[in-house]
Amino acid sequence: MNELLLLLAFQLQATNYPMLVTDQSIHRVMIVQAPSGDIIKEWCASDIPEQHRKWFRNPSEVKFSRNGKYLLTCASGGGAAIIRISDEKTLWYDSVGGNPHSLDIGPGNILVVASSTGNYTTLFRYDLNSTKRYEPNRPRRKIDFPDGHAVNFYDGYFYVAGANQIKAYEVRQGKRKKNLPDLVAVESYTIPGIGAHDMIYGAREKVFYLTTVDTLLEFHATDGSFHPVPGKISRNIKSYSEGANKDLPSTVTVPKEQWWTDEVTDLQGKTILKIPGARIYKARWLIGYINTYKEYDKNGKLIRDVAW
Q: What is the pTM of this model?
A: 0.91
- pLDDT for 269 equals 96
- pLDDT for 2 equals 47
- pLDDT for 307 equals 66
109-122 core/surface letters (b: 16 or more CB in 10 A; e: else): ebbbbbbbebbbbb
HSE-CB at 85 with a 13 A cutoff on CA atoms is 25
Q: Report the distance separating Cα 220 and Cα 215, nearest Å.
A: 16
Q: What is the mean pLDDT of each run of 10 residues along the chain (308 residues)?
A: 45 72 98 95 97 98 89 97 96 96 94 95 95 94 95 94 96 76 96 93 92 96 96 95 85 96 97 97 83 71 70
- pLDDT for 7 equals 43
CATH architecture of 3-306: 6 Propeller (2.120)
- pLDDT for 177 equals 60
Q: Are 193 and 200 in contact (CB under 8 A)?
A: no
